[in-house]
Amino acid sequence: MESLLYHHPMYNTTRRSSDSDVAGSHWPWGSMFWLGTLSSGSAATRIYHRRAYGALGLLVLAVAIGIAMDTFLGTGTSRWLAGIGTPLAFAYISWSFYRYVHELDELAQRLQFEAVLIAFLFVVLGGIVLFSVSIFTGWVAHPVWVLLAEPVRGVGLIVAARRYR
């Protein structure tokens, strides 16, 4: 009867050291930082990685073909392929990420949401700073700086996950 009346929280009994954040945790820190995903073994994660790497691979191949055509034929193909291929590739990766997040459980979705929010705020703040620098110096920031948001999302994922050891 006592077990019905009192809730006994579950403790991580495999944890040996109370001073280590990672020792008792089962979070995949490398996958979280480098890939922005919570695991590398689930089917949803593998599908997302395949789609993202496939899109990036096709983009690199298209730009390489464009550069080769520019070099040998003197056409402006690389600009067109990069200009059209880049937004299409990243739109496909974004759609794949959206699908991936919807396959996760509620906690994982919350962690991904917090990580995306941190990355979004970083991009907005970085854009404002780069805009201000360009006004004072005349330097024009290249949009490739937005790609720095991905490691920030990985760090945001690690920061959010540390609360749920």
Mean pLDDT of the chain: 76
Question: pTM for the full model?
Answer: 0.68
Residues 82, 109 within the same domain: no
Last residue in a domain, options 55, 70, 103: 103
Residues 93, 121 within the same domain: no
The per-residue pLDDT for 81 is: 81
Q: For residue 4, give the H/E element and its range.
A: helix 2-5
Answer yes or no: are the C-beta atoms of 151 and 30 closer than 8 Å. no
Between residues 65 and 13, which one has the greater pLDDT? Answer: 65
Q: Tell me the C-alpha distance between 19 and 70, whole Å.
A: 58
Which of 23, 43, 29, 20 minimizes the C-alpha distance to 158?
A: 29
Residues 94, 120 within the same domain: no
The per-residue pLDDT for 157 is: 84
Whether residue 121 is contained in a domain is answered as yes
Residues 77, 121 within the same domain: no
pLDDT at 140 exceeding the cut of 50: yes
pLDDT category, 6, cuts 50, 70, 90? Answer: very low
- The tokens describing 31, both together, are 């996958």
Whether residue 52 is contained in a domain is answered as yes
Residues 53, 79 within the same domain: yes
Answer yes or no: are the C-beta atoms of 158 and 36 closer than 8 Å. no
Average confidence (pLDDT) over 13-40: 58
Tell me which residue range forms the domain holding 126.
105-165
Residues 139, 94 within the same domain: no
Between residues 41 and 27, which one has the greater pLDDT? Answer: 41
Whether residue 146 is contained in a domain is answered as yes
Residues 56, 110 within the same domain: no
Answer yes or no: are the C-beta atoms of 145 and 126 closer than 8 Å. yes
Whether residue 147 is contained in a domain is answered as yes
pLDDT category, 160, cuts 50, 70, 90? Answer: confident
Residues 119, 165 within the same domain: yes
SS3 call for 89? helix
Task: Give the chain's domain count.
Answer: 2
